[in-house]
């Protein structure tokens, strides 16, 4: 892979750290402000909802003006937003900070577009596997470790550390990252055409629309799980937030191993579609099995198996989208995909938050069962429509 890809992976890793630090502490930080479980779920929802509208705009603009300037804007927004969150004096500022981070948070899709610009089609599965390894794998490991440190200092320190790490990624982007966009889309006749319409038109794009739908459904079921996962682990299994963070680290290490070593091995032997479908099926079964027995050893064992199969799903979806999209609309396609994935992050926590009752800890298992059933339905939907998104050469 080229030097540009490695620089992009480093920037994506730093950006991932700024996000993964917050995952184990956002729920607890919201509770420090006196928010209920449902109100805390809105902290996730407002961030995801803002990203839903912003990400396709940033992707569209990156196809028009280049990847680098849009990546700079996005990272700068994360720096400012997390600085505000870490110094918030009331819940209103915290909600505004989450909104600001969301409205400027399209850097993942822009970074993915850089990889699409740089890597030939036959190398993209490996490249996106590496991207997943440094963001959702290694990022989870190091981010969780930093989160564990922040919890010993203060939860606010996690947001300040997140801001500082995003600043490092911003500086790297300005200094070291070259522009990779070779063919810019034509300037639209309507100056207000900034890509929001693609949220609708994208759903009927040949071979892409069905992948956007699958990713939205996968994201919704996954965030139903993740919102219920933390309180279930703490309140039902009787564990603390420090051991939860260690579990996140273990899942991150598994993701790194699978995405760096496992994906290249798998793509030589199986089609991208088969790998994706197997990952979705295994994910659905793991969600459903997790809360059957409220035992920490059982839960961790199922969780680790889940981590192995979960690690292949997003890289396969991203690769399929990249292979099915024309070169001049890579940023737009990946931006639409990220947008629907982001808005799924808004629906999932709200659904999960509405079916749990903190007075009855057993209800924290309900989102896990629901996620399992719904993910299996997505698996059946993906099988039924697999001819609509299979690339001709895959």
For residue 197, pLDDT beyond 70: no
Q: Contact 78/379 with Cβ under 8 angstroms?
A: no
| Mean pLDDT of the region 315-321 | 87
- What pLDDT is attached to residue 186? 54
- What pLDDT is attached to residue 184? 61
3-state secondary structure of 88: coil
Nearest to 332 by CA among 185, 119, 142, 148: 185
Top-ranked range on mean pLDDT: pick from 6-10, 266-270, 350-354, 370-374: 370-374
For residue 18, pLDDT beyond 90: no
- What pLDDT is attached to residue 12? 81
Domains defined along the chain, listed by start: 3-177+196-388 (1.20.1250.20)
Residue with token string 């927004």 = 77
Top-ranked range on mean pLDDT: pick from 58-67, 126-135, 154-163, 322-331: 154-163
| Mean pLDDT of the region 129-148 | 77
Please tell me the least confidently modeled range out of 28-32, 144-148, 163-167, 327-331: 327-331
3-state secondary structure of 358: coil
- What pLDDT is attached to residue 394? 46
For residue 194, pLDDT beyond 60: no
| Mean pLDDT of the region 134-138 | 74
Burial group, residue 348, by CB count within 10 angstroms (0-12, 13-18, 19+): buried
Query: What is the residue-averaged pLDDT of the chain?
Result: 82
Nearest to 12 by CA among 160, 169, 128, 119: 169
Torsion sign over Cα 222, 343, 198, 187: negative
What span, in angstroms and rounded, lies between the C-alpha atoms of 32 and 20?
A: 19
Token code pair at residue 235: 């309140």
Burial group, residue 32, by CB count within 10 angstroms (0-12, 13-18, 19+): middle
- What pLDDT is attached to residue 190? 46
Q: Which residue has the higher pLDDT, 230 or 310?
A: 310
pLDDT in tens, 33-69: 888 877 887 887 788 778 777 777 777 777 777 888 8
- What pLDDT is attached to residue 65? 79
| Mean pLDDT of the region 265-269 | 88
Confidence of residue 379 (pLDDT cuts 50, 70, 90): very high
**Overall residue count recorded for the chain in this entry:** 394
The reported pTM is: 0.69
- What pLDDT is attached to residue 247? 83
Element (H, E) at 105: none
Q: Which residue has the higher pLDDT, 292 or 243?
A: 292
| Mean pLDDT of the region 361-380 | 91
pLDDT in tens, 88-123: 989 899 999 999 988 887 677 788 788 888 888 777
Token code pair at residue 117: 């610009």
What Cα–Cα distance (Å) separates residue 340 from each residue in 54, 96, 209, 228, 279?
11, 22, 11, 21, 20
Mind giving me the DSSP string for 200-233? HHGGGSTTTHHHHHHHHHHHHHHHHHHHHHHHII
């Amino acid at each position: 892979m080229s030097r540009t890809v490695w620089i992009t992976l480093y920037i994506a890793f730093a950006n991932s750290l700024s996000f993964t630090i917050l995952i184990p502490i956002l729920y607890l930080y919201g509770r420090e402000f006196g928010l209920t479980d449902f109100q805390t779920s809105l902290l996730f929802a407002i961030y995801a909802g803002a990203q839903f509208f912003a990400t396709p705009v940033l992707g569209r603009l990156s196809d028009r003006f280049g990847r680098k300037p849009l990546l700079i804007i996005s990272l700068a927004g994360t720096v400012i937003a997390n600085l505000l969150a870490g110094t918030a004096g009331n819940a209103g500022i915290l909600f505004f900070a989450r909104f600001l981070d969301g409205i400027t948070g399209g850097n993942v899709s822009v970074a993915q577009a850089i990889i699409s610009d740089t890597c030939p089609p036959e190398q993209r599965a490996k490249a996106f596997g590496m991207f997943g390894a440094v963001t959702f794998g290694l990022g989870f490991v190091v981010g969780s470790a930093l989160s564990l440190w922040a919890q010993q200092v203060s939860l606010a320190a996690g947001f300040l550390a997140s801001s500082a790490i995003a600043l490092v990624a911003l500086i790297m982007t300005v200094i070291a990252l070259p522009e990779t966009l070779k063919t810019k889309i034509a300037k639209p006749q309507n100056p207000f055409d900034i890509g929001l319409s693609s949220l609708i038109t994208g759903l009927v794009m040949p071979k892409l629309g069905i992948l956007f739908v699958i990713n939205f459904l996968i994201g919704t079921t996954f965030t139903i799980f993740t919102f219920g996962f933390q309180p279930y682990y703490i309140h039902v299994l009787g564990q603390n937030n420090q051991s939860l963070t260690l579990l996140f680290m273990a899942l991150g290490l598994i993701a790194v191993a699978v995405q760096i070593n496992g994906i290249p091995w798998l793509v030589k032997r199986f089609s991208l579609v088969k790998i994706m479908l197997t990952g979705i099926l295994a994910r659905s079964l793991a969600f459903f099995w997790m809360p059957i027995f409220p035992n920490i050893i059982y839960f961790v064992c199922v969780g680790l198996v889940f981590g192995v199969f979960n690690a292949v799903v997003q890289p396969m979806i991203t690769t399929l989208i990249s292979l099915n999209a024309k070169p001049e609309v890579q940023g737009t396609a990946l931006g639409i995909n990220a947008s629907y994935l982001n808005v799924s992050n808004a629906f999932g926590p709200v659904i999960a938050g509405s079916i749990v009752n903190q007075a009855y800890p057993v209800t924290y298992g309900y989102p896990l069962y629901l996620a399992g059933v719904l993910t299996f339905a997505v698996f059946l939907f993906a099988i039924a429509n697999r001819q609509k998104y299979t690339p001709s050469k895959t």
